[in-house]
Structure formats: structure tokens, C-alpha cells
Amino acid sequence: MAGDGNEISANGLGNKSYELEKGPDATSGLNLNIEASDVKDVTQPAGFWIRFAAFWIDEFLFGMITMIVFTLSFAVAGVSSAGINSMQGGDPNEQAMKMMMIMLPAMGLAFLVMMVARFFYFGWFHKNKGGGPGKLMLGLKVLDAETGTHIGYWRTFGRDMVGKQFISSIILYIGFIMVAFNDEKKALHDMVFATNVVKKQ
């Protein structure tokens, strides 16, 4: 600082000197820095139990959708099989085989519809809101570990179906339990798909 105290030489910015403004606005930059620091750390890693609760809320809500899909599929299959039984007497074993030929495709179609519904249901919520309804109810978000932004449809689907249903579940659900034993509160599927689950403070 030189002269009357109104000039500052900044290292690394050449030999230029910058004058501070006098008056009430002179500290406005400092105020902005304070405000930014106040809102910088507004989240913290979400712990095991709150994530556990959010997971089951999400599964319950989506389970209601799944139940409706399967009920409709079996209702259609039941009507078809009833039609076969009413039109044909014949061998009971043959009728049972025909019923199976109707029920199995109905189950396959219901499963496919469920997977597509899951892709769009959870994908939309994660991309646009930052998490499924259960997480949002409890103030949680699933964010990209590097950028801190929402994840998209395919990454959500991979984290959900491959990460949770297979990778974290295959060895006695240890992938989920890991949340309770590391500082970053990461499950195995968070590590694989580079995500953080955070809670608003």
C-alpha cells in the first residue's frame, strides 16, 4: 500500500495499481464475499438412516405404480384365459398350458412396462428435482460428485437398477451399509456412478 493508503499493488497482476473508491460503496465487494461464504456450505452428506427411509418411501410410491401395471396385465390375461376356458372343454392340462402361454407374455409385458416407467419416473425426478419423491420429502438430493449438478436419465437408471439392485445388493447389502462407515457417507453405487447424496442444512 502506498501514498495516502488508497492504492494497492497486487502481486501476480503486473505492475498496475488499483485505487479504492471512497464512500459508502467502498466495502461492497467485501460484503458480497461475506454473503457468498454464508451460503457456500448449505449441504452435508446424508447419513444412513435418512437415506434408508428415503429409499423405502421411493420404493413404496413406485410400488403402487407397479401394482397397478401388474394388476391390469393379469386382468387382461385373466379375461383371455377365461375366454379360452369358456369356448373349449377338452383336457385340463391343455387348458393350463394355454393359460400359461397367455400369462407369461403378460408378465413379460408388465415387467417391460415397469422398467420403462421406472426409467422415466426416477429419471425425470433426478434430472429436474435432484432426487426421487422420497428423497425430496426428506430434504435430500443426488448430485454429480464433481460438478454438484443433477444427474440425467441414463445415469439415474444405471445407478438405480445396476448400482442399487445389483452391485450394492449382491453381497448381503454391504454396498448400502457402507454409508454408515465412511466420512463421505457414500454407498457403493455412489462410488461406482460418482454421485453424492446430500442433505440441506
Strand partners, 196: 143
Where in the chain are the domains?
Answer: 45-196
* C-alpha cell read off for 145: 460428485
Tell me the pLDDT of the chain (201 aa) as tens digits: 444 544 444 444 444 444 444 445 544 444 444 443 344 446 899 999 999 999 999 999 999 988 888 787 777 666 555 555 555 556 677 777 777 777 787 778 888 888 999 999 999 999 999 999 999 999 999 999 999 999 999 999 999 999 998 999 998 999 999 999 999 999 999 999 999 999 987
In this structure, which amino acid lies at residue 12? G
Query: Do 20 and 26 touch, CB atoms closer than 8 A?
Result: yes
DSSP 186: -
3-state SS class at 108: helix
Q: Provide the total of helices (H) and of strands (E) in the chain, helices listed first.
A: 7, 5
